[in-house]
Amino acid sequence: MPELRIDVGAIGTNTEVVATLLREHRLDLVGVTKGCLGEPRVAAAMLAGGAVALADTRDRNLLRLRAALPHAELHRIHLPSLVEPFEPGDITYVSSWRGAKAVAALPPTGAARRVVVLVETGDEREGAPPEALPGLAAAIAGDPRLDLVGISTNYACFRGEPDGIRASVEAVARAAAALRAAGRSVGRVSGGNSSLLRLLVQGESLPVEVTEVRCGEALLLGHDALCYQPVPGCRTDACILRVEVLEEYTKPAREGKARRLVLGVGRQDLGSGSVTFRQPGLREIGRSADYLVVEATAACPGVSAGDMVDTVPTYEALVAAWTSPYVELRLY
C-alpha cells in the first residue's frame, strides 16, 4: 500500500518561516488545514509556528479541529449550504445575501454570527462582484444576527494567472477602503492564499488595507501556490508519498525500447495532481485508475520491482492521497 509520510516538525518549520515573512509586513497568518483533513497534529504545529487561526472547507474537519483545539479560532472558508445544516466555525465566509441569511438562520449562540464577505477579484470562481459589495455589506449590517468583520478574496485556485495576482490583492484593498469610507467597520482583510507569497519573496509589499493571508500549500509543501517556487527557508519534503514498484520491464516505446516501471498508485489516489520523483532519472508517462507508468533512464539504474520510490506530491495530489482509503498515512 502506498504510504503518505508527513513530517509534522517540518510543517511547523514552514509555518514559522511564513509567519515571520508575513509579520515583517504586519500581516497575520491563517493556517489552512483542508489539505490534511483537519489533522489536529498538523493544525497544532501550524498554531505553534505562528498561525493566529485555522481555516477549513469541510464540516467534519472543523468539528475535528474544534474537539482537539477548543481555543483555536476557526474559519469556515467554504460557502455555506443553502439547503442543509452546516458547521459555521467562529467566522463564516459568504458571497451572497442568501448565504448570509443561511448563517443568520443558524441556532442562536447569544452573540451575532461573524461573517467575512468573499469578493471576486479575477479568479472567476466564488465571490461577490465588487459592484455588489456595498449592498451586500449594508444588508448584513442591518441584520442583528450577523456581524460583518471583514472581506476576503481568493486567487490562483481556478483561473487566476501569475500576471493578475497584484491586481487581485489591490482590488480587495480598494473594496475594503470603499467600505470603510462608507462607514462600514472592516477590521479584517484577507488578501488571498499562498499565491501571495510570491510577491513578498520578490520584495514587494501588499496594500496597507490587507491584514492577513491564508496559507495551506506553503505550510505543507514549502512553495507558493502560483509559480510553485520554494519559499526561502521552507522545507519542500514535509509530505512524501512512498510508492512500491510492482513491475519492471524493457518495453517498446516510440523511440526504440525503454525501461518502464509500474508503480502501485493511480488516479484513484492522485486525482488530477502530479508527483515529482526524488530519485533522478524517473518520469511519469501516463496513469490509469490503479497504476502510474514511469520511464527510467540510465540515470536511474538501481530501481527495480519490489523497491519503494519516494515522490513529492503537488497540492492536488496531496489532498487526493490524504483522502484516499488506499493510502496509508504516517505522521512523525
- Continuous segment of H or E residues that includes residue 188: strand 188-190
Would you state the cell numbers that stand for residue 5, as one nine-digit string? Answer: 509520510
Would you state the cell numbers that stand for residue 235, as one nine-digit string? Answer: 522545507
3-state DSSP call for residue 323?
helix
CATH topology of domain 239-331: Lyase, Ornithine Decarboxylase; Chain A, domain 1 (2.40.37)
On the 0-12 / 13-18 / 19+ scale of CB atoms within 10 A, 207 is middle
User: What is the C-alpha radius of gyration for the chain, rounded to an integer number of angstroms?
Assistant: 22
What's 8-221's CATH class? alpha beta
- Enumerate the domain spans of the chain: 8-221, 239-331
Cβ atoms within 10 Å, residue 14: 27
The rounded distance, in Å, linking the Cα atoms of 318 and 65 is 20
pTM value is: 0.96
**Predicted pLDDT of residue 254:** 81
**Predicted pLDDT of residue 253:** 83
Would you state the cell numbers that stand for residue 8, as one nine-digit string? Answer: 509534522
**Predicted pLDDT of residue 301:** 84
Angle, helix 8-23 to helix 40-49, in steps of 10 degrees: 30
pLDDT tens for the chain, residues 1 to 332: 999 999 999 999 999 999 999 999 999 999 999 999 999 999 999 999 999 999 999 999 999 999 999 999 999 999 999 999 999 999 999 999 999 999 999 999 999 999 999 999 999 999 999 999 999 999 999 999 999 999 999 999 999 899 999 999 999 999 999 999 999 999 999 999 999 999 999 999 999 999 999 999 999 999 999 999 999 999 999 999 999 999 999 998 887 899 999 999 999 999 999 999 999 999 999 999 999 999 998 888 889 999 999 999 999 999 999 999 999 999 99
**Predicted pLDDT of residue 299:** 85
